[in-house]
Amino acid sequence: MMVNPADTALSGALADATERALREAEIRLPPDVLAALRRAAAAERDEIARQELANILENIALAGERQVPICQDTGVPVVYLTLPPDIPFSPDLFSGVREGVRRATATIPLRPNVVDPLTRENTNDNTGAGMPAVHVTPGDRLTVTVLPKGAGSENASRIGMLLPSQAAQIPKFVAETMLLAGGRPCPPVILGVGIGGTFDMAAALAKEALLLPVDTMDDYEQEICDAVNALGIGPMGLGGDTTALAVKVKRADCHTASLPVAVNVQCWACRRATVEVER
Amino acid sequence: MNLTTPLGDEVLSLRAGDRVTLSGTIYTARDEAHLRMMKEGIPFEPEGAVVYHCGPVVQDGRLVVAGPTTSARMDALTGFLIDAGVRALVGKGGMGPEVVEQLRGRAVYLALTGGCAALAAARMSLKGVHFEDLGMAEAVWVIEADCLPLTVGIDAHGGDLFEAVREKAKTQFHQRFNTR
C-alpha cells in the first residue's frame, strides 16, 4: 500500500517541529551568541568596528521587533535529529524534515537558496537532491536542531589534510583561513574546527562544533581565538579587535598516517535552535 | 556626509573610512543581473546611479529583509557599470584591485554591515523590479533608501580600507607564526 509519508503522525510532527525550529533560528539569535556580541561591542576599541557592532545589535533587535529573518541569506538548513530508542529509523524522519523546510520557506519566509549545482536551477523550496542534510544520532528524546548556514561564511571554510607531524600547525591553519577570508564571511565569526577522524568526518565535526555554546572556550580554543583576533581584520574586514567571537573545537581519533583538519567559518549570525518533537 | 541619488562629483571627495548615509533610489544586482546587463543593457539610468549587491527576501511586493551580499563575486563584472556612469557600489567585504582602479576618479565603494538585513529593510521601500525572471535573489529590485548607514570602503583616490586591513593582518600573521 502506498502511504504519503507526509501524512504519518511522525512526519507531520517532525514537519511542525522543523518549521518552528527554523522560525526561531532565523529570527532570534541564541542567547550565548547575543551575549558574545554584546561583550565584543563593549570591549571594542576601533571606532569603525564599534559602529559595525552597533549596527549588528540594532539589526538583531529590529529582526525581533519585525519578526523577520536576521539576514537575507537565510541559508540552507543543516538538520540534526536525536532519536530515542522507541522510534524507528525510517523515511518518515526525512520526509517530515523536508516538509518542515518547505513550509518554513513559505511562511517565515525564507529566501529559496537551493539550486542544482550545475544548471543552477532553483528548486524554490529550499529542499533538493540530498538537501537538507539530516544527521541522526541516538538520544533520549526526539529533537530537531537546525543550523541554517549562509554561503558567505560557508564559502570561506577550508579543509586540510595535514601531516601527522603538523599538529602544532593547527592554530596557524585556522588563522590562515581567516587571513584568506578577510571580511568576506561577515566577521566577527565563530570558527568551528574539526580535528581528526577522516576527510569527511573532520568537516562534519567542524560543523557540529558550531552547535556548541560560545560562552566558554578551553585553553586550546582560546589560544586559536587569540591568534585570529590578533590579525585585526575586525567586523566586516574594516579593522578592529573583534574578528572571532569564539573558536570551538571537536575532535575524533584518526589514522596514524593522517591529520585531517577542517575549519567551518560561521558569520556572526550563528543561527541555531532546537525543538522537541511533540508526539 | 549625507548622500542623495543621483550622485555626482560629491563622492570624489570621500575618503576610505569616512562614514556616510545614503538616501534615494538604488538598484540591486548580483551575479546573474550583471551578466544579463552586460548582454542586454542596463535597464535603469546609470548616470549617478547606485548599485547595491543584494539578494533580498521579497514577499507580496514588500521588502522583508535586504542586507548586502559578498561584493567580490562581482569583481570581474563591474567595469561596464562604472563606465556607464554608476557612482557608487554598495555591498560587503570589499572588491578586488581591478575595481579599485575602475573606481579611481569616478566612483566609490560603500560598505554596509553584512547580515544587517532587517536594519537595511527598515530603511528601504520597494519601488519596482527588472529581470524578475532571474528569481528573487538575482532580480534587479528598484529600492528607495532612507539614510542607509555606510562606511566608505574604497574611495575614488585608490584608498582601500579592506586592503589596508588585509596588509596589517598579513604582517601580524607572519610575525605570530614566524613565516617569511
Distance from CA of B11 to the nearest CA of A (A): 19
CA-only gyration radius of chain A, Å = 19
Please state, in angstroms and rounded to a whole number, the distance separating the CA atoms of residues A120 and B38: 19
> What average pLDDT does the structure give for chain B?
96
Q: Render chain B in DSSP notation, one character per residue.
A: -EEESSP-GGGGG--TT-EEEEEEEEEE--HHHHHHHHHH--SS--TT-EEE----EEETTEEEE----BGGGGGGG-HHHHHTT--EEEEBS---HHHHHHHTTT-EEEE--TT-HHHHHHTEEEEEEE-GGG-TTTSEEEEEEEEEEEEEEE-TTS-BHHHHHHHHHHHHHHHHHT--
Q: Which three cell numbers stand for residue B155?
A: 574611495
Which of A33, A53, A70, A72 has the most B C-beta neighbours within 10 Å, making it the best mutation to test the interface with B?
A72
The C-alpha atoms of residue A208 and residue A212 are separated, in whole angstroms, by 7
**DSSP-derived 3-state class of residue A120:** coil
DSSP-assigned beta bridge partners for residue B180: none
Residue A274's beta-bridge partner residues?
A: A145
Rounded CA gap, A124 and A112, in Å?
5
Helices (H), A28-84: 31-43, 47-66
Does residue B63 have a pLDDT over 70?
yes
Residues of B in contact with A122 (CB under 8 A): 135
Q: What local confidence, expressed as pLDDT, does residue A10 receive?
A: 94
Which residue among B55, B64, B173 sits closest to A176, beta carbon to beta carbon? B173
| pLDDT tops 60 at residue A57 | yes
Cβ contact, residue pair B93, A182, below 8 Å: yes
Residue A106 has pLDDT above 90, yes or no: yes
Asked if A173 reaches chain B (Cβ–Cβ under 8 Å), the answer is no
Segment A112-123 mean pLDDT: 94
pLDDT tens string A232-267:
999 999 999 999 999 999 999 999 999 999 999 999
Q: What percentage of chain A reaches a pLDDT higher than 70?
A: 97
- Say yes or no for a CB contact (<8 Å) between A186 and B169: no
Q: What is the DSSP letter of A241?
A: S
Q: Which of residues 123-152 of A touch B (CB under 8 A)?
A: 150, 152
Nearest CA-CA partner of A271 in A205, A204, A186, A173: A186
Dump pLDDT digits (tens) for B111-166. Answer: 999 999 999 999 999 999 999 999 999 999 999 999 999 999 999 999 999 999 99
Q: How confident is the model at residue B15 (pLDDT cuts 50, 70, 90)?
A: very high
Cis peptide before B43 (omega within 30 of 0): no
Mind telling me how many Å the CA of A92 is from chain B's nearest CA?
30
Q: Does A62 touch chain B (CB under 8 A)?
A: yes
Contact call for A236 and B111, based on CB within 8 A:
yes
Nearest residue, CB atoms, B166 vs list A66, A152, A182: A182
pLDDT in tens, A1-28: 444 544 689 999 999 999 999 999 999 9
Residue A71 has its nearest CB partner, among B94, B115, B165, at B115
Testing the interface with B: which of A238, A241, A245, A268 to mutate, by most B Cβ within 10 A? A238
Query: Predicted confidence band at A278 (pLDDT cuts at 50, 70, 90)?
Result: confident
What is the dihedral angle through the alpha carbons of B148, B152, B154, B159, rounded to the nearest 10 degrees?
Answer: 170
If you average pLDDT over residues A193-207, what whole number do you get?
98
Q: Can you give the pLDDT at residue B114?
A: 95
Place of cell 539530516: A134
C-alpha A235/C-alpha A48 separation (Å) is 9
- Using the structure block, give the residue that is written with the C-alpha cell 541564541: A30
Report chain B residues whose CB lies below 8 A from the CB of A234: 165
- What does the alpha-carbon distance between residue B10 and residue A257 come to, in Å, rounded to a whole number? 61
Please identify every residue of B annotated as catalytic: 34
Contact call for A184 and B93, based on CB within 8 A: yes
Q: Given a cut of 60, is residue B41 above it in pLDDT?
A: yes
Question: Which 66-85 residues of chain A touch chain B by CB within 8 A?
Answer: 66, 68-74
Cβ within 8 Å, pair B118-A179:
no
Confidence (pLDDT) at A3: 47
**pLDDT number for residue B179:** 81
> Are A187 and A267 spatial neighbours (Cβ–Cβ below 8 Å)?
yes
Contact B173 A70 (CB under 8 A): no
Average pLDDT over residues A72-93: 96
